[in-house]
Structure 1
Amino acid sequence: MAVPKRRTSRANTRHRRAQWKATAPTLTPCPCPRRETVVPHRACPHCGLYQGRQILDVP
């Protein structure tokens, strides 16, 4: 198993970690008339629709 000879410097560590970026989740409009944005492949929490079918009972 390979073992590093030297400790990675703080600058190199931070330079490497700076490339990790958080991305905003992809949102798609719900097919209901309100056009709420929802995460893909999930039922709409506002109306309970999934692919045009009523899945959840939302009051």
Structure 2
Amino acid sequence: AADQTAKAMAQLQAEGFDHHAAWEMTREQYLFLPEEPQPETEPLPTSQGYSMMLQMQRMRQQLGNQD
């Protein structure tokens, strides 16, 4: 990794970038991972607890709307 960083920085400096700019560009290349593709939206597995919580929330809303 150190050799690759040194080579990348030397290449950028040979292209006319100063040391700091070469470091920033090289750092971004190795430190920031590329964005992962967004997965296809898939339905979440059903959970009995979650289903019951939703049902309770709906019931509370209905009771609140009756006033």
- Per the normalisation by structure 2, the TM-score is 0.27
Larger Rg: 2
Q: Would you tell me which structure has more strand in proportion to its own residues?
A: 1
